[in-house]
Amino acid sequence: MKKIQQLLEIQLFGVCSKLGEVMGISSGGIKLAFVYLSFFTFGSPIIMYLALAFWMNIRKYHRAKRSTVWDF
């Protein structure tokens, strides 16, 4: 079960786990909140999730590309 959860976190961008780290909340609670909010608001949190995943991917790309402040 743990391997499946790790695989899903890697494939689903790790947005919930990153939000959990930053806010000090378990990632399971954030996942449940996304699911419940998606039912009540007809999927708008899914758009927010995808936007956060895109933003995290862009930040990861920029960090990998520039190693120091002086690189342009």
pLDDT confidence of residue 12: 66
Name the one residue in this structure whose structure tokens are 């695989």: 7
Domain that holds residue 54: 2-65
- Residue 71, in any domain of the structure: no
From CA 60, how far away is CA 54, in angstroms rounded?
A: 10
pLDDT confidence of residue 38: 85
- Residue 72, in any domain of the structure: no
Confidence label for 64 from pLDDT (cuts 50, 70 and 90): low
pLDDT digits 0-9 by tens, 5-58:
676 666 666 788 888 888 898 888 888 888 888 888 887 888 888 888 888 877
- Residue 60, in any domain of the structure: yes
The pTM score is 0.58
Domain count of the chain?
A: 1
CA atoms within 13 A on the CB side of 14: 9
Q: Is the pLDDT of residue 63 over 70?
A: no
From CA 33, how far away is CA 28, in angstroms rounded?
A: 9
- Residue 44, in any domain of the structure: yes
